[in-house]
Amino acid sequence: MIAVGLMSGTSLDGIDAALVRIEPRGRAYALDLLRFATMPFAPDLRGALMAALPPQRGSVEAVAELHRSLGSALASAATAIAAGEAVDYAASHGQTLWHDGERSVTLQVGDPFAVREALSASVCYDFRSADCAAGGHGAPLIPYVDELLFADDAEDRVAVNLGGIANVTLLPKAGATAAFDTGPGNMLLDAFVHERTVGATSFDEDGSFAAAGRADAELLGAMLADEYFALPAPKTTGRERFGAHFLGRHAQRLSRLGLEDGSATLTELTAVTLADAIVRTGFARARVLIGGGGARNATLLRRIAERLPEARVETTDAMGIPADAKEAIGFAVLGYETLRGRAANLPAATGAARAVPLGAIAPLDLPRLLRRVDSECTANASS
């Protein structure tokens, strides 16, 4: 089956779109990434998103307009990555406008029916609400996919996603999977670089700024004092806690640092909190598989590896899953799970009372699609 996975995360760098050939293999899947691209947001759309995200307070009208305009952008990304190839279904995460995991409140926008009309295919969407209805945080969701694709009974593994927020999936060789957000990934560094370069660049490419700088111990210690880092799992976070207002609270110390030293300090914040979480949970000697846009930041990866000297640290490319495409691929898998009606959350990760099927469907010839899903699953049940 051919699927399109669409993801727009907290880093707000654009829409990740993956065209995937996906087939069930027993409980897991065989995957072949056919095409992948990140389509940057148009400046006006990115500006509208920033105006609606915390700490800003957008109006109902603004949210409705964003739902429509982001839906159009998702539809354009989907048709571009499909490039004329017939698609069986799409799975769209949309863009999170608000998330309060502890209160089981979440909202993603991006009209799935615009994607359906563009692709002439059913679209799975709204993946977080079902987990919230079951008392969960609605996040993280990709750990379920991590378990399907990366778990191994011969070694302990940790799947890391370095997006705007960093999270870990703990995959013991014997035992239950667990997952949680460790804190900021790229979000704070991106915001700092964008501000200091007056918009000339919005991220530290390859970690070159951080590599030329030196972390400020005083500022790093002040940031590490945030209460989130001491909270027990399961826990999730986002822009509500680690947005630009977090940098604002440390503006006085940060203003004394140049671009390079500030970048080095924020890079170290991500490396420290991620590595410490891995060590505290007993996975200091595990194989650590890193995905997400931050996996292309060589300085960040080096600092993580240096703080985990007994671990084997590498990107998910080593497992055949390109780091940049991991989340878009993950939502394509979650879309297939929606069509199967299988529970696809991990209560140990989200805090939900029970495992539940995720997602809603914008249907187009849905009976035919479900018959095909059933046929594929039956044929490959013992693979």
pLDDT at 339: 98
Q: What sign does the CA torsion over 317, 292, 91, 373 have?
A: positive
Q: Is the pLDDT of residue 59 over 90?
A: no
Q: Are residues 172 and 304 in the same domain?
A: yes
Rounded Cα distance between 82 and 78, Å, is: 6
Scan for tokens 């790229």, then name that residue.
Answer: 186
Best CA proximity match to 239, nearest among 371, 101, 55: 55
Q: Are residues 215 and 362 in the same domain?
A: no
> Coil, strand or helix: which one is 219?
helix
pLDDT at 352: 96
Percentage with pLDDT > 70 across the chain: 100
Q: Are residues 242 and 320 in the same domain?
A: yes
Rounded Cα distance between 380 and 373, Å, is: 11
pLDDT at 233: 87
Q: Say if pTM beats, i.e. exceeds, 0.85.
A: yes
Two structure tokens written together for 40: 């940057």
Q: Are residues 131 and 171 in the same domain?
A: no
Instruction: Give the chain's end-to-end CA distance (angstroms, integer).
Output: 16
Q: Are residues 150 and 297 in the same domain?
A: yes
Q: Are residues 10 and 87 in the same domain?
A: yes
Two structure tokens written together for 175: 């035992």
Element (H, E) at 298: helix 298-307
pLDDT single digits (tens) 349-375:
999 999 999 999 999 999 999 999 999
Q: Are residues 370 and 242 in the same domain?
A: no
Q: Is the pLDDT of residue 51 over 90?
A: no
Q: Is the pLDDT of residue 295 over 70?
A: yes
Q: How confident is the model at residue 12 (pLDDT cuts 50, 70, 90)?
A: confident
Q: Are residues 131 and 146 in the same domain?
A: no
Asked whether the beta carbons of 54 and 187 are under 8 A apart, the reply is no
Asked whether the beta carbons of 301 and 313 are under 8 A apart, the reply is yes
Scan for tokens 């039956």, then name that residue.
Answer: 378
Q: How confident is the model at residue 383 (pLDDT cuts 50, 70, 90)?
A: low
Please enumerate, as own/partner, the contacts of 317-323 that have beta carbons within 8 Å and a separation of 24 or more: 318/289, 319/149, 319/150, 319/289, 320/31, 321/31, 321/33, 321/149, 321/291, 322/33, 322/36, 323/290, 323/291, 323/292, 323/293, 323/295, 323/296
pLDDT single digits (tens) 165-222:
999 999 999 989 999 999 999 999 999 999 999 989 989 999 999 999 999 999 999 9
Q: Is the pLDDT of residue 41 over 80?
A: yes
Classify burial at 43, counting beta carbons within 10 Å of its beta carbon; exposed 0-12, middle 13-18, buried 19 or more. Answer: exposed
Q: Are residues 217 and 366 in the same domain?
A: no
Q: Are residues 55 and 111 in the same domain?
A: yes
pLDDT single digits (tens) 65-77:
999 999 999 999 9
Q: What is the mean pLDDT of the chain?
A: 95
Which CATH number fits the domain that encloses residue 305? 3.30.420.40
Q: How many domains does the chain have?
A: 2
Which residue range(s) make up the domain with 157?
A: 142-324
Two structure tokens written together for 101: 């995991």
Q: Are residues 6 and 116 in the same domain?
A: yes
Q: Are residues 297 and 168 in the same domain?
A: yes
